[in-house]
Structure 1
Amino acid sequence: MIDLTLSEIAAATDGRLIPGSADAGLVVSGVADTDSRLVTPGDIFVAKPGEETDGHLFADAAVANGAALLIVERELAVAVPQIVVEDSVTALGALATEVITRVRALGRLRIVGITGSNGKTTTKNLLAAVLERVGETVSPKASFNNEVGAPITMLRVTNETRFLVAEMGASGIGEIARLIRMAKPDIGVVLKVGLAHAGEFGGIEATVTAKTEMVSELLPEDVAVLNLDDPRVAGMADATRARVLWFGLDDRATVRATDIVATASGTAFTLHLPDGSCAAVRFKVLGEHHVMNALAAAAAAHELGVEIDLIVDGLQSVSRAERWRMEPLGGRDDVSIINDAYNASPDSMSAAIRTLAQIGAERGRTIAVLGAMSELGDWAGEEHDRIGLQVVRLGIGRLVVVGPEARRMHITAINEGSWDGESVYFATADEAFAYLSAEIAPGDTVLVKSSNAAGLRLLGDRLGELYA
């Protein structure tokens, strides 16, 4: 974070400063966090009330870890300065806005905002890997993309930062717009609109409205990077004043991929840019569907003036999408475990199963270990049915369904009528692990896929360790 005095932070957050023994002119430049365990000397601790606990209860731990300042909603008996605000999350956003505004005034910082139902974190990682080759780049850790995580990322910006890559998620209309008010992008990227979180949004059209917020506030001198292959995203061109840069596999896209070949070691393709340049890319991230994320990252980087050789170098340097996202594990006895159980929507689940069918066919038997897809609301039953059918029709060798919320996939696969015992169901991950430990054979390729809430990422880790 940039240097700010206690009084400047209090003014930015509209809070009441209680300096204690410190002077109001004391300079603070540490990063902010809402987790006291992550606080290091000089940091700002933001005490955020939660559904299960209250951050104020951990203020003493934050001070013990070296917090230089607390932002709180009620005055505490602590030995460090504190700023009392009405709402700590709102104050966190206001502080991020102040920092971004000051750094923006220096004329160096360029901001890229990324949203979409799937692929935000992967695209963020790919773009950051490219931009880091050009200048200081700040991007979110993990999936810091909400009203808390996004401003925490923004507060890591310094006067030397050239690029901020902001992942912007939402579970309702207005949430992306709120993040954009903190840090308006020069380039807004929309990847895909699907059924992820459709239950929270209230339907696909509400999802479209929410994601459109990424480009609706862009200025004529800004750029909207849009997926030409997704009709819902392509329609957003009518909602922005910005210049539109299309990416996709469609021949009309100005940033596109051709000659795509997916294998167990990654995906090869030819990258084409608007200036007519092209280059071969040997992309290590598993799954042909991640090529679209690579194209989005390449499009944004190209608009920021990055040469194609650096774009390719950055893309090729990324070996996995993110922890628990198409993460290759195992290796012993030629067993390959793909742990993709951090998140799951109908689109990402379908893409992962297609990848399993593609790369497993060249190795041996394929096993899909699947859990529930969360936050689908009224679409849950139908979408779990569709996945069960897809597993059968793609010829996956064995389906292992885990958890009562996902059992419908197992029933649907059985009812398809083409299998005899190839689908099994277990209520718990421990039961599934015991079965798989005895079932997996040399040469098998195993996909573990579910929403985070299903907890199968830990099952994937256990299988990876078993076959390491």
Structure 2
Amino acid sequence: MIAMTMGEIADAVGGKIVGGDPATLVDGLSYTDSREVTSGGVFFAKPGEFTDGHLFAPQAVERGAALVVVDHELELDAPQLVVADVVDALGDLARTVIAKVREAGILRIVGITGSNGKTTTKNLLGTILSRVGQTVAPRASFNNEVGAPLTMLEVTDETRFLVAEMGASREGDIARLIRMAKPDVGVVLKVGLAHAGEFGGIEATQRAKSEMVTDLSADDIAVLNADDPRVAAMAPMTRARVLWFGEDGEDAPDRVRATGVRSGRAGTAFRLHLPDGEERDVAFRVLGEHHVANALAASSAAFALGVGIDDIVAGLESVTRAERWRMEVVGNARGVTVINDAYNASPDSMAAALKTLVQLREPGGRAIAVLGEMSELGDASGAEHDRIGLLAVRLGIDQVVVVGSGARRLHISTINEGSWDGESAFVETQDEAYSLLASMLREGDTVLVKSSNSAGLRHLGDRLGELFS
């Protein structure tokens, strides 16, 4: 964070200083997890769903917090800033810091949203931009009203690029983040059924994602996915210049596009085309053809910021995995390959992962899908689990193992569609799944573990990875 006095921070968030000197300078990082606090940092005692950050304020002080932001005064041997709402204060401070850094004139901001692919795209873009200037990008999936401002607070006067991943659980969430840091380049990847249950349907999801571009100015750039009709429909909603990306469109030289896409166990190769006529072959080592769209989105944002094709390609080729637990090869020994993709799952990403599994199946080997619940689908949940079960059969996947009662309907649909004898198995727990798979897997097998984060199958994937590493 840029250096600010306690008085300046108090003014930014509308708080009252207790036990501190307003003239004291603070320039450490900001945290909501007391275990991560470093000396000189600011600890925001955020109330949580299961606990309250105020309970951990003493630990934050022990670790060297220079200032603790609270919604009521505590008995602490450290300066406190008492505010009405800790999360609102975090956002207010982020907005103030971004505005101050903007005054230096070099900071450019990219906002990224979409139902799928946000984290992968921000990782790719962050890697590309880091080649040409100091870049701040989120850790993990820091994309909500807490994670996004924490990332924003990492900028300094030397920061050239801020990559802001902007997620949403309801309409208005993205608009709130944009008020903290309005993008120069706004990227919309896809509108799908992820979190549709929270939004209240796909139309509400589309409205929420469109918040990324509706407030852009005529000097800004909206990067839109030409292959997604719901994203493409956002073009008339923005004053910004539109830069399209997509795998389709050989007759559209003004878009960022890919041709000659070829997927395999080493990743995905394609030829990248930019609107200025430049083109290069890309050896993209991230597994899954569906990640080409994310590579195109990152390339588009970089191109919009003036980055040349050589740096774009070098950045893409240096990335070896999308993110932890996203199409990550965690085991590849004794002839068995384990791919852990269980950090998140929507119907679109589940379908893409299953298609990738079939593409990666070894000649003569088996494709085995270990699947858990896709959460937050609302009324569409049953039908979408049915659809994935049917898809698994139609793709010719050799063995399906369904884990957890929330995904049982997927198992039933698989059986009904395939009339199989044992090719789909259902177990209630991860331990049961591990025992079954440990006895079942053999040389030549390629195993995909896929579920929503709440189902926790990423831990099962790691256990299988250790077994075959």
Alignment TM-score > 0.5, same fold? yes
Equivalent residue number for residue 185 of structure 2: 187
Alignment of 1:67-466 (within 5 A): 67-251=65-249, 252=252, 254-362=255-363, 364-466=365-467
Q: Distance in 2 between matches of 1:356 and 1:240?
A: 38
The aligned residue for residue 50 of structure 1 is: 48
The Cα shift of 1:300 comes to 0.4
Matches within 5 A, 1:8-87: 8-18=8-18, 20=19, 22-87=20-85
Identical pairs, percent: 67
Secondary structure of the 1:225 match is: strand
Amino acid paired to 1:115: T
Structure-2 separation of matches of 1:417 and 1:457 = 27
Q: What SS is found at the alignment partner of 1:188? A: strand
> Structure 2 CA distance, aligned partners of 1:196 and 1:453?
13
Q: What is the distance in 1 between the residues matched to 2:21 and 2:241?
A: 48
**Matched AA of 1:283:** F
The letter of the residue matching 1:116 is G
CA distance in 2, matches of 1:381, 1:3: 52
Secondary structure at the residue paired with 1:457? helix
SS at match of 2:426: strand
Does 2:20 match 1:3? no
Ranges in structure 1 where 5+ consecutive residues have no aligned partner: none
Structure 1 residues 181-240: Cα deviation after superposition (integer angstroms, max 9, x where no partner): 000000000000000000000000000000000000000010000000000000000100
How many pairs align?
A: 466
- Provide the C-alpha distance between the structure 1 equivalents of 2:314 and 2:337, rounded to a whole number of angstroms: 26
Tell me: CA distance 1:427–1:25, structure 2 relative to 1, closer, same or farther (3 Å).
same
SS, match of residue 181 in structure 1: helix
Cα distance between partner residues in 1 of 2:361 and 2:41: 47
Residue pair 1:363, 1:445 contacting (<8 A) in 2 also: no
Structure 1 position 445, deviation (Å): 0.3
Amino acid in the other structure paired with 1:122: T
What is the CA deviation profile of residues 310-345 of structure 1, one whole-angstrom value per residue up to 9, with x for unaligned ones? 100100111110000000121111211000000000
CA contact (8 A) 2:338 2:448 kept: yes
- Once residues 237 and 461 of structure 1 are traced to their aligned partners in structure 2, the CA distance between those partners, rounded to angstroms, is 42
- Cα deviation for residue 363 of structure 1 reads 6.4
Task: Give 1:51 shift.
Answer: 2.0
Secondary structure of the corresponding residue to residue 331 of structure 1: strand
Are 1:371 and 1:456, in contact at CA under 8 Å, matched by a contact in 2? yes
CA drift of 1:362 comes to: 4.2
Determine if contact 2:362/2:444 at 8 Å carries over to the other structure. Answer: no
Q: Secondary structure at the match of 2:127?
A: helix
Task: Indicate if the aligned counterparts of 1:372 and 1:403 stay in contact, CA closer than 8 A.
Answer: yes
Cα displacement (A) at 1:23: 2.5
Does the aligned pair in 2 maintain the 1:321–1:327 contact within 8 Å? yes
Please give the alpha-carbon distance, in whole angstroms, between the structure 2 residues aligned to 1:35 and 1:58: 8
Offset of residue 419 of structure 1: 2.1
> Is the CA contact 2:362–2:445 (under 8 Å) kept in the aligned structure 1?
no
Three-state SS of the structure 2 residue aligned to 1:435 is helix
Letter in 1 for 2:278: S
Distance in 2, Cα, partners of 1:453 & 1:245: 35
Once residues 46 and 168 of structure 1 are traced to their aligned partners in structure 2, the CA distance between those partners, rounded to angstroms, is 20
Measure the CA separation in 1 of the matches of 2:202 and 2:241: 26
Q: What does the per-residue CA deviation read over 1:232-288, in whole Å, with 9 as the maximum and x for residues that have no partner?
A: 000000100000000001213610000000001100000000100000000010000
**Residue deviations 1:4-43, cap 9 Å, x none?**
000000000000111x2x4221110111111101101000
Aligned counterparts of 2:72 and 2:418: Cα–Cα separation in 1: 62
By how many angstroms is 1:361 displaced? Answer: 4.8
Where 1:416 maps in the other structure, the secondary structure is helix
Counterpart Cα distance in 2 of 1:34 and 1:126: 26
Query: Aligned equivalents of 1:437 and 1:8: distance in 2?
Result: 58
Deviation at residue 305 of structure 1 after TM alignment: 1.0
Q: TM-score, normalised by structure 2?
A: 0.98
Counterpart AA for 2:25: V
Q: Distance in 2 between matches of 1:324 and 1:272?
A: 30
Q: TM-score, normalised by structure 1?
A: 0.99
Distance 2:147 2:327 in 1: 23
SS at match of 1:281: strand
Once the two structures are superposed, what CA deviation does each residue of 1:46-72 show, in whole Å capped at 9, x if it has no partner?
A: 011122111111110000000000010
